[in-house]
Amino acid sequence: MLKKSASRARSLVSAAEISASAPTDAHPANGGAVMATPAPEEPPVVRKMFKSIDALDRDYITVGQFWQRLGRMGIWPDDPRLSGVRALLAAQAPTADPALEYSTFREIILSSELVRDALTGKMSVPDFEGFCADVKTIFEESLPSRGGKVADYIPQLAKVDPEQFAVSLCTVDGQRFSYGDAATRFCLQSTCKPINYCMALEELGEATVHDHIGREPSGHSFNAITLNDRGLPHNPLINAGAIMCCSLIRRDLPPSERFDYVLDKWQELTGGERPGFNNAVYLSERETADRNNALAYFMREKGAFPSKADNLTQILEFYFQCCSIELNASQLAVVAGAIANAGVCPLTGQRVFSPQNVKNCLSLMYSCGMYDFSGEFAFTIGLPAKSGVSGALWVVIPNLLGICIWSPKLDKNGNSVRGIEFCRKLVDRYLFHAYDSIGGDHNKKDPRLAKGEDKVKELLLLITAAVNGDLPSLQRLEARGVDLNAGDYDRRTALHLAASEGQLNAVRYLLERGVAPAPVDRWGGTPLDDAIREHHHEVAEVLRAAGEGA
């Protein structure tokens, strides 16, 4: 099930906990009267957070150090959730890097759940620095891919610097990272289509929207003049379906207000500034619109629009306007993060779309989001995504994060060459493919876990399976690629534990799988020593036969 906004749900260090540990001058035995008490004890949790930043033990930190620590967790100073914190910090002495006294720090901690979570690592991606370092490496590795060419069906698209490249990401609790040309704006083109579809769903509901649009991949190119056997566009992510979506959104409003409504939605999704609009792109789109006009007339002939009287010119103009909205990679990543977060903007906590509508949207992004490469993308990358001819691509890892990759050169399918390259490398390293959980590559990482946590968990599972003689679990762990020879911090292996507990079948199984028969633990003990000490004679025999001591 899609979960609600993660930051609220996840805070492990609550304000109540902190207040409970905070000193109070009101004495209960004295009817709450204030007494002269010795110097109050400091709240230990807050102290520890402070100390973790005050590495030099100076009893103060600087505002710069504070932001730096939050930055390492991906929390940026412009985060809308930190307006109160910014106000408190603005009151500090106006020097280049003002000191932040403990009392102010304490006030910040008490007032901001986000700061508490960030400082204690209770975020979606606990090792955010490590994850971002990998993302940066993948970016660098994708940079040399200089194939493809920029879209040139309108001059404005052909004019962009083709070598630009940006990667941005935003987790469901608003950890952000951007690299490359992430502040440069580009027009959304087809990457706006999933959002338009969500807007139509929000307003009209699934049944009505799908009275006008199908939900199958078309099997044809994105602008092919083809409809399904009901005379409807195949899905909302190809041109015909996207034009149809535009005919459904806020039919009650005049064009200017309708477009403002759309911009409002984008702004809610980014949690920040109002998006831009590229008028030159819009005008060019409108001038070179024969194909889209043909699609609209074809759909009208088939009676696909809500009303025969719909003004096709207005609908198409609205569609071109949506394609000409501009964002940068950093902003589009927040939009992707909101979709990963079941429709709630990670930076503001505002719900923009319902979880059910987001689920529908993700399903179609998964099957139809990448032009004629959609099946291949679902197969190899295994993630919902949408690309556009401006070279933008946004990808959703549900319940974890959204990513935007932007690089203008396109392959023959119309997808960003570097965008595809980046995605391939990302899923090579991380357990992001929708079906990786079935038994993916053991060497892939899971960023939801703290550094080393996956290995520790696996070892615990391995040792527990050995202690219990649980062969099916041992087999599954082996199938996942877990090292059966691994030992814990005392160098105790599965074989030590199975021998200690007299789990004959587990001992046999491990030996058959070729584990070393005589590993030595921290105290110099082997599995045979364990078996003898615990009087498991049969186990001892098997270990001897396997060559222990040889």
Distance of closest approach, residue 382 Cβ to ligand GLU, in angstroms: 22
| Residue 175 in contact with ligand GLU, rule: CB under 6 A | no
Shortest Å distance, C-beta 322 to ligand GLU: 9
The least distance separating ligand GLU from the CB of residue 222, rounded to whole angstroms, comes to: 5
530 is an interface residue for ligand GLU by CB under 6 A: no
Residue closer to ligand GLU, measured from CB, 118 or 192: 192
**Is the Cβ of residue 189 or residue 526 nearer to ligand GLU in the bound state?**
189
Out of 388, 398, 525, 527, the residue judged to bind ligand GLU by CB under 6 A: 388
Distance CA 400, CA 125 (A): 8
Interface with ligand GLU (CB under 6 A), residue from 186, 222, 282, 394 = 222
Q: How many CA atoms lie within 13 A of 49 on its CB side?
A: 25
Residue from 171, 196, 235, 239 touching ligand GLU (CB under 6 A): that is 239
d(CA 431, CA 427): 6
Q: Which of 156/270 has CB closer to ligand GLU? A: 156
Shortest distance, position 90 Cβ to ligand GLU, whole Å: 43
| Closest CB 324 distance from ligand GLU, rounded Å | 8
Which residues ranging from 302 to 341 are in contact with ligand GLU (CB under 6 A)?
Answer: 323
Tokens of 387: 């690309």
Among residues 189 and 493, whose Cβ is nearest to ligand GLU?
Answer: 189
3-state secondary structure 211-253: CCCCCCCCCCCCCCCCCCCCCCCCCCCCHHHHHHHHHHCCCCC
Is the Cα dihedral 216, 220, 221, 226 positive or negative?
negative
Least distance CB 327 / ligand GLU (angstroms): 14
> CB of residue 189 vs ligand GLU: minimum separation in angstroms?
3
State the minimum distance, in angstroms, from the CB of residue 292 to ligand GLU.
Answer: 5
Among 5, 190, 328, 341, binds ligand GLU (CB under 6 A): 190
Residue 195 CB, nearest approach to ligand GLU (Å): 13
Positive/negative CA dihedral, 72, 76, 80, 85: positive
Specify the residue, 389 or 506, whose C-beta has the smaller distance to ligand GLU: 389
Report helix, strand or coil for 45. Answer: helix
Is the separation of the CB atoms in 266 and 342 below 8 Å? Answer: no
Instruction: Give the burial string for 470-505 (b: 16+ CB within 10 Å, else e).
Output: bbebbeebbeeebbbebbbeeebbbbbbbbbbbbbe
For ligand GLU, which is the closer residue by CB, 348 or 390? 390
Residue 292 makes contact with ligand GLU by CB under 6 A? yes
Q: What's the Cα-to-Cα distance from 406 to each of 167, 285, 290, 410, 459, rounded to whole Å?
A: 7, 21, 28, 11, 40
Q: Which of 62, 171, 189, 374 binds ligand GLU (CB under 6 A)?
A: 189
Q: How many CB atoms lie within 10 A of CB 10?
A: 15
Q: Give min distance, CB of 388 to ligand GLU, in A.
A: 4
Pattern 112-131, ligand GLU, x by CB under 6 A: --------------------
388 vs 487, beta carbon nearer ligand GLU:
388
Length of the chain as a residue count = 550
Nearer to ligand GLU, 178 or 191 (CB): 191
Separation CA 282–CA 424 (nearest Å): 32
Which structure tokens are listed for 479?
A: 């199938």
Q: Using an 8 Å Cβ cutoff, are 506 and 474 in contact?
A: yes
Shortest distance in whole angstroms from residue 148 CB to ligand GLU: 14
The least distance separating ligand GLU from the CB of residue 376, rounded to whole angstroms, comes to: 17
User: Could you tell me which residues come within 8 angstroms of residue 527 by beta carbon, excluding any fewer than 6 positions away?
Assistant: 493, 495, 496, 498, 499, 500, 507, 517, 518, 519, 543, 548
Question: Cα separations (Å) of 469 from 206, 443, 547?
Answer: 51, 26, 21
Select 223 or 468, whichever has its Cβ closest to ligand GLU: 223
* Interface pick for ligand GLU out of 285, 317, 501, 530 (rule CB under 6 A): 285
**Which of 389, 405, 497, 546 contacts ligand GLU by CB under 6 A?**
389
First-last CA distance in the chain: 54
Give the count of residues interacting with ligand GLU (CB under 6 A). Answer: 10
Q: How far apart are CA 195 and CA 322, in angstroms?
A: 10
CB of 229 to ligand GLU, least distance (A): 24
Q: Which of 78, 68, 74 is nearest to 131 (CA)?
A: 74
Nearer to ligand GLU, 222 or 394 (CB): 222
Amino acid at 77: P
Which CB sits closer to ligand GLU, 190 or 357?
A: 190
- Considering only residues 401 to 460 of the shown chain, the ones binding ligand GLU according to CB under 6 A are none
Closest separation in Å from C-beta 76 to ligand GLU: 29
In 3-state terms, what secondary structure has residue 113? helix
Nearer to ligand GLU, 20 or 294 (CB): 294
String of contacts with ligand GLU for each residue 11-50, x by CB under 6 A: ----------------------------------------
Q: Judged by CB, which is closer to ligand GLU: 148, or 527?
A: 148
Tokens 């290995």 sit at which residue?
455
3-class SS at 401?
strand
From CA 548, how far away is CA 546, in angstroms rounded? 6
Q: Which CB sits closer to ligand GLU, 153 or 435? A: 153
Give the interface with ligand GLU as residue ranges (CB under 6 A): 189-190, 222-223, 239, 285, 292, 323, 388-389
